[in-house]
């Protein structure tokens, strides 16, 4: 009964159980955090608005994004992935989500920021529906834990509208 | 005598009935592992409920050797979610983030574009030649939970088969010779 292998086995099992339990509890404590992030987004300029050779609309814009996501961070947070997506409906599609910009936030200190980027990913429609199109800018965040369950939420900023006509610089 | 000597002694003293019992115990262990895996498949709706991260394309979120728990679920795929997908004629599934979604009005079919957080380009270079979008049938599941480092064991074992067989052998020997 009290051989070396028996004791080693018992010790290993016990420590793994404790470790798993601690991971589970660390993940559970995330539920006590009720974050209240804030964000504002502006379109500073429409740099280019054209129809591509295959018929799809493409627009290039400069954005102004300010956000305070510090309340998302807990002791079990490894990073927050934040991205801004243009979301709109067209006659063909019930939903179009096009990522325009994203950022990985590794620490709480960097979670309050203000940036003026050009769109990082191409804003291309499936078709030619962008002229005069009303759309929402949605700031999504995905909270990556050190261990356990991942969280995600978003802030919808409505009331954006693309120009009525193409523009070539 | 030490550890190995103990094991050999206990092997020598085995009787037929006892040996049979040990074989059955071993079979129970293997089949219960299989039962748990199949049960997880049913619950999560994903054909592989747990995957090990093999590449660095999602760093710093996921590193090599981290374990991801997948779920399929009824909800439609949306931008920002981390999905596991399989490209036709590619063996290894890829874990990347969705950056664009277009959902058709009439059929509810979806077109999805993915990208690794740590990659400069989107995944069109990884897709099959000429493929612009992922459809629903390519997606095996979405990541819902995360456990660091645990999967590194499997990476070590796939890269060094000798360690794998040594480990399986040692565990098998322990299971057969243990007397509780």
* Residue B7: count of CB within 10 angstroms of its CB: 19
- A61 and A127 share one domain: yes
Q: What is the pLDDT of residues B104-123, one digit of tens each?
A: 988 888 999 999 999 988 89
Q: Which of A100, A42, A99 is nearest to A66 (CA)?
A: A42
- Host domain of residue B77: 50-149
Do A90 and A148 fall into the same domain? yes
Which pLDDT tens digit goes with each residue over A48-105?
999 999 989 999 999 999 999 999 999 999 999 999 999 999 999 999 999 999 999 9
The set of residues, in sequence order, having a beta carbon less than 8 Å from that of A13 and lying 6+ positions away, is: none
Which positions in chain B have a beta carbon within 8 angstroms of at least one beta carbon in chain A? 3, 6, 60-61, 78-82, 97, 99-105, 108, 111, 117, 122, 143-148, 174, 178, 180
Distance separating alpha carbons of residues A99 and A56, to the nearest angstrom: 17
Token pair listed for A138: 């949605």
User: Are A50 and A124 in contact, with CB atoms under 8 Å apart?
Assistant: no
Residue A70 lies in a domain: yes
Select the residue of B3, B80, B99 nearest A142 (Cβ to Cβ): B80
Give the chain B residue nearest A149 (alpha carbons).
Answer: B145
Q: Could you list the active site residues of B?
A: 57, 96, 123
Is there a domain that residue B62 lies in? yes
Distance from CA of A146 to the nearest CA of B (A): 7
Q: Same domain for A49 and A118?
A: yes
Domain of residue A51: give its range.
35-161
Q: Locate all alpha helices (DSSP H) within chain B, ordered by sequence.
A: 2-12, 16-44, 152-159, 161-177
- Whichever domain contains B76, its CATH number is 2.10.109.10
Provide φ and ψ at A105, rounded to 5°. Answer: -110, 110
- The whole-chain average pLDDT of chain B stands at 86
Number of C-alpha atoms within 13 angstroms, CB side, residue B70?
26
Mean pLDDT, rounded, for B72-94: 86
Identity of the residue in B6, B117, B148 whose CB atom sits nearest the CB atom of A147:
B148
Q: Cα distance from A155 to chain B (closest Cα, Å)?
A: 13
> Which pLDDT value is given to residue A169?
55
> Do A57 and A40 share a structural domain?
yes
Residues A28 and A46 placed together within one structural domain of the fold: no
Tell me which of A94, A110, A137, A139 to substitute to probe the interface with B (most B C-beta atoms closer than 10 Å): A94
Same-domain status, A128 and A77 = yes
Interface pTM (ipTM) of the complex? 0.85
Q: How long, in residues, is chain B? A: 180
Q: Is residue A86 situated within a structural domain? A: yes
Reported residue count of chain A is 169
User: Is residue A166 assigned to a domain?
Assistant: no
Q: How many domains, chain A? A: 2
Contact check, Cβ <8 Å, B103/A94 = yes
d(CA B112, CA B124): 11
Is A47 inside a domain boundary? yes
Pairing relationship of beta strands A151-161 and B50-52 according to DSSP bridges? unpaired
Buried b (16+ CB within 10 A) or exposed e, B19-58: eeebeeeeeeeeeeeeeeeeeeeeebebebbbbbbbbebb
pLDDT tops 70 at residue B165: yes
Share of residues in chain A with pLDDT > 90 (%): 74
Q: What confidence tier does B179 reach under pLDDT thresholds 50, 70, 90?
A: low
Q: pLDDT class for B97, splitting at 50, 70, 90? A: very high
Does residue A34 have a pLDDT over 90? no
- Are the beta carbons of B79 and A83 separated by less than 8 Å? yes
CATH of the domain at A68: 2.60.40
pTM: 0.82
The answer as to whether A168 is a domain residue is no
Number of domains in chain B: 1
Q: Which residues of B touch A99 (CB under 8 A)?
A: 79, 99-100
Q: Is residue A122 part of a domain?
A: yes
Q: Which residues pair with B83 in a beta bridge?
A: B96, B142
């Amino acid at each position: 009964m009290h051989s070396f292998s028996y004791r080693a086995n018992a010790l290993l099992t016990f420590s793994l159980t404790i470790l798993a339990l601690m991971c589970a509890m660390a993940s559970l404590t995330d539920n006590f955090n009720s974050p209240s992030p804030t964000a504002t987004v502006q379109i500073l300029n429409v740099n280019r608005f054209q129809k591509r050779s295959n018929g799809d609309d493409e627009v290039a814009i400069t954005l102004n994004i300010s956000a305070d996501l510090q309340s998302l961070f807990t002791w079990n947070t490894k990073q927050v992935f934040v991205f801004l997506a243009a979301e709109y409906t067209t006659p063909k599609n019930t939903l179009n989500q096009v990522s325009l910009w994203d950022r990985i936030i590794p620490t709480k200190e960097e979670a309050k920021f203000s940036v003026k980027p050009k769109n990082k990913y191409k804003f291309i429609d499936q078709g030619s529906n962008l002229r005069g199109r009303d759309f929402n800018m949605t700031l999504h965040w995905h909270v990556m834990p050190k261990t356990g369950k991942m969280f995600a939420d978003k802030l919808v900023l409505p009331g954006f509208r693309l120009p009525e006509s193409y523009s070539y610089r | 005598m030490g550890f190995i000597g103990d094991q050999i002694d206990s092997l020598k003293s085995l009787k037929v009935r006892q040996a049979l019992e040990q074989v059955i115990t071993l079979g129970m262990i293997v089949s219960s592992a299989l039962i748990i895996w199949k049960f997880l498949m049913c619950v999560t709706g994903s054909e592989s409920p747990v995957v090990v991260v093999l590449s660095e394309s999602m760093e710093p979120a996921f590193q090599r050797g981290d374990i991801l728990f997948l779920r399929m679920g009824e909800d439609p795929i949306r931008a920002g979610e981390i999905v596991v997908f399989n490209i036709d004629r590619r063996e290894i599934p890829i874990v990347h983030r969705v950056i664009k979604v277009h959902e058709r009005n009439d059929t509810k079919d979806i077109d999805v574009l993915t990208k690794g957080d740590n990659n400069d380009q989107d995944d069109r270079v990884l897709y099959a030649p000429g493929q612009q979008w992922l459809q629903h049938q390519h997606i095996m599941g979405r990541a819902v939970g995360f456990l660091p480092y645990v999967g590194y064991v499997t990476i070590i074992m796939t890269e060094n088969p000798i360690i794998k067989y040594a480990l399986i052998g040692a565990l098998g020997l322990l299971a057969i010779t243990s007397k509780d």
